[in-house]
Amino acid sequence: MKKFDIPEYYRSPIISKVKTQRKLEDPRKKDFAPTLLDFGNVSFVISRHFGFCYGVENAIEISYRAIQDNPDKSIFLLSQMIHNPEVNSDLESQGVRFIQDTEGNQLIPWEEVGADDIVIIPAFGTTLETRKLLEEKGIDTVTYNTTCPFVEKVWNRSAKLGNTDHTIIIHGKHKHEETKATFSHSKENAPSVIILNMQEAETLAEFILGKRNPDEFYEVFSEKYSVGFDAMRDLRRIGVVNQTTMLASETQAIADYLKGKIVERYGEENLKDHFADTRDTLCYATNDNQSATIRLLEEDADLAIVVGGYNSSNTSHLVELLEERFPTYFIQNKDEIISEGLIRSYNIHSQEVHEHLSFLPDSDKTKIVITSGASCPDSTVDGVIQRILELKKSPITIDQIQL
pLDDT score recorded for residue 280: 66
pLDDT score recorded for residue 131: 96
> What's the predicted TM-score (pTM) here?
0.90
pLDDT score recorded for residue 1: 58
Residue where one domain finishes, among candidates 267, 282, 297? 282
In a domain, 398, yes or no: no
In a domain, 143, yes or no: no
Nearest to 381 by CA among 109, 133, 18: 18
Q: DSSP state, 9?
A: G
pLDDT score recorded for residue 281: 73
Assess whether 81 and 43 both reside in one domain. no
CATH code of 176's domain:
3.40.1010.20
CA distance 60 to 101: 18
In a domain, 382, yes or no: yes
Assess whether 260 and 372 both reside in one domain. no
**Looking at this protein, which amino acid is placed at residue 124?**
F
CATH code of 60's domain:
3.40.50.11270
Assess whether 201 and 104 both reside in one domain. no
CB 102 within 8 A of CB 311: yes
User: What SS3 class is residue 36?
Assistant: strand
Q: What's the distance, Cα to Cα, between the start and end of the chain in Å?
A: 24
Assess whether 270 and 212 both reside in one domain. yes
Kindly name the residue from 57, 177, 178, 250 that is annotated as catalytic: 178
pLDDT score recorded for residue 17: 85
In a domain, 85, yes or no: yes
200 catalytic? Reply is no
Walking along the chain (403 residues) 10 residues at a time, the average pLDDT comes out as 80 86 88 94 95 91 96 94 89 94 91 96 95 97 95 94 96 94 95 98 97 96 97 96 90 95 97 88 82 96 96 93 97 94 95 94 93 94 94 84 71
CB 78 within 8 A of CB 145: no
In a domain, 181, yes or no: yes
Assess whether 163 and 255 both reside in one domain. yes
Q: DSSP state, 100?
A: B
Residue where one domain finishes, among candidates 254, 282, 310? 282
Domain carrying residue 345: 8-53+285-392
Report the number of distinct structural domains present in the chain: 3
DSSP string, 105-131: -BSS-GGG--TTSEEEBPTT---HHHH
Residue where one domain finishes, among candidates 282, 310, 329? 282
Strands 303-307 and 275-276: unpaired
Assess whether 64 and 187 both reside in one domain. no
